[in-house]
Amino acid sequence: MPVKVLGISGSPHRHGNTEVLLDAFLAGVTEEGGEADKVILKDIEYSPCRGCNTCHKDGECIVKDQAIPLFDRILMMDCLAAASPIYSMGITAELKGLIDRAQYIWARKFILKTLYFTDDHVRSHKGIFISTAGLSWDNVFDAAFPAITAFFNTIGFEYYDNIIANEMDKYHGIRGHPTALKEAHAKGREVVRVLEALKRDVPDTD
C-alpha cells in the first residue's frame, strides 16, 4: 500500500504562494512513490463550529456538511499537510474554521473516551504545517503553531515538521524564494521514506 498523503489548502488565493509551496511538497511525495491528493477548502461547503456541545454527548457533529466526509478522509491518511498563509498573524478563517469543526473528534477522545490513538498510531501518522507570510519578522508564524498543534493532537497525527517561508514581499512571491520550493519537495520525499519504514516496522493494526 502506498503512503497516502492529503494536502489541505486553507488559502483563499488559488495557486498563490502557499498552494504552490504545498504543490512542491506533494510533487516530492508522488516522486517517492506516495499517493498525493489535495483539497481546496474555499471550494467546499462547511460552516464554523456552532459551539452547541451536542458532540460532547454522542461524539457526533450535528452540522452535516462537507467537513464530515473530509474528516473521514483525513483519518484514513498516513500524512496530512495543512497549509495556510499567515493572515493577521494567524492562520486563515478557512483552516481555523475546519480545525474548530474537529471538536466532535476531540469530544470522542477527551470527554466520551470512545476514541484512543496508540503511540504507534500517532508515530505513523505525520502532520506537516505549510505556510507563507509577507513579513520578515522572526515571530510571524508563532500564533499559528498552537492551533496546528491542537489540530494534529486531536486527529491523532504527530506534528512532524513545518515548511514555512516568510519575506514573500521581499522575494515577490514563493517562486522568488531561494530555497523554499526545493526544501518542500525534499520534505515530501523524506516523509514518504520515513512512513514507509514505519509501515515496515509497525504493520497497521487500526
CB neighbourhood size of 93 (10 A) = 16
Residue 179 touching ligand FMN (CB under 6 A):
no
C-alpha cell at 109: 477522545
Query: Which residue number, 111 or 135, has a Cβ lying nearer to ligand FMN?
Result: 135
Q: Number of residues in contact with ligand FMN, rule: CB under 6 A?
A: 17
Closest approach, Cβ 13 to ligand FMN, in A, equals 3
Instruction: State the Cα–Cα distance between residues 116 and 188, nearest whole angstrom.
Output: 28
- Closest CB to ligand FMN among 88 and 205? 88
Distance CA 152, CA 133 (A): 21
Q: Is 79 in the site for ligand FMN (CB under 6 A)?
A: no
- Answer yes or no whether residue 193 interacts with ligand FMN by CB under 6 A: no
* Interface mask toward ligand FMN for 133-172; x: CB under 6 A: xxx----x---------------------------x----
CB of 196 to ligand FMN, least distance (A): 30
Q: Does residue 29 interact with ligand FMN by CB under 6 A? A: no
7-26 footprint of ligand FMN as x/- string (CB under 6 A): ----x-x--xxxx-------
In this structure, are residues 55 and 35 in contact, taking their beta carbons and an 8 Å threshold? no
* Span 83-112, contacts to ligand FMN by CB under 6 A: 85-89
Residues 37 and 49: their CA atoms lie apart, in Å, by 25
Shortest distance in whole angstroms from residue 195 CB to ligand FMN: 26
Which residue ranges make up the site for ligand FMN (CB under 6 A)?
A: 11, 13, 16-19, 85-89, 132-135, 140, 168
